[in-house]
Amino acid sequence: MRGTNSTKDQRRSEFIAIAFVGSLSQTGKENPDGTWPRLVFPTASGKGVFFARPHVVPAEMPEAEFPIALNTGRLQHQWHTMTKTSKVPMLNKLNPGPFLELHPEDAQTLDIKEKDSVEIRSRRGRAVLPAIITERVRAGNCFAPMHWNDAYGADLCINAVTSDTIDPVSQQPRA
């Protein structure tokens, strides 16, 4: 740094230049030994604070009428309802459409073959997706990505089947 002899100030400037390109979202925090941590939380200690949530029984459990637990989630190369990522041809080649992953034991019990159209039904709605038979899911469970909706075709929206139950604090969907 021009105009100062302070090695400490120079290290701080270098750290800020390397770690934060553009404007700072928080103030850096120097450790007692003169180093700068890569991550600082906006707390007095600079450490994160975790709030443990109590165990809550799932809103619904598998039962005779609905014996398989549905898990939904995102694919690593798609984002939410694909409003932007669906415009990238390379990403669409990875998973060109929605699907339902079933464990081989469940597929055999239900007489479902690879690529069969499978109706997923709950008290709230239904979706119809092609089956993928895989051991990536546990027996008694299935998985469907949540990205596709009815704009891509009738009955492709797995979210039509899921519960609207959320955690009251985080507002995150819960089982």
**pLDDT tens per residue across span 88-109:** 888 888 888 899 999 999 999 9
DSSP β-bridge partners for residue 144: 72
Instruction: Tell me how far apart the alpha carbons of residues 172 and 151 are, in angstroms, rounded to a whole number.
Output: 24
Residue 15 identity (one-letter amino acid): F
Total-model pTM: 0.69
Model pLDDT, residue 163? 86
Model pLDDT, residue 27? 66
Q: Lowest-pLDDT range, 26-30, 68-72, 125-129, 166-170? A: 26-30
H helices of the chain, in order, are: 7-19, 89-94, 104-109
What domains sit in the chain, N to C, each tagged with a CATH number? 1-50 (no CATH), 69-160 (2.40.40.20)
Q: What six digits make up the tokens of 68?
A: 């398989």
- Phi and psi at residue 167, to the nearest 5°: -70, 130
